[in-house]
Amino acid sequence: MIEKLRKINDELIEKNKDNQELLKKQNLIHEMLDFDDLFFRINVEDAYGILRDLGFEENQLKEVYLKLIDKKNY
């Protein structure tokens, strides 16, 4: 699942090359996604914020977050 987020992030970085504000945010997320256990390190509100910034809809956040913190995926 983390690989999917990395791919989405890379696509958003490419898409937003001309928008410095969005590019800066996506570059920060890119650095954070270097940690496979990122979503175990941060609180749920920050996790939801990252998922929103990656384009996930509100009704998807809980499901995606639960997948990210499921130990079966590591």
Overall pTM surpassing 0.85 (yes/no): yes
- Cα(5)–Cα(58) distance, integer angstroms: 16
- For residue range 11-41, list pLDDT tens digits in order: 999 999 999 999 999 999 999 999 999 999 9
Segments forming the whole domain that contains residue 20? 2-73
| Closest C-alpha among 35, 28, 71, 34 to residue 49 | 28
> Residues with Cβ < 8 Å from 2, sequence gap 6 or more?
33, 36, 38, 39, 68, 73
Confidence of residue 74 (pLDDT cuts 50, 70, 90): low
Structural domain count, the chain: 1
Per-residue confidence (pLDDT) for residue 73, from 0 to 100: 65
Other Cβ atoms less than 10 A from the Cβ of 16: the count is 16
Confidence of residue 43 (pLDDT cuts 50, 70, 90): very high
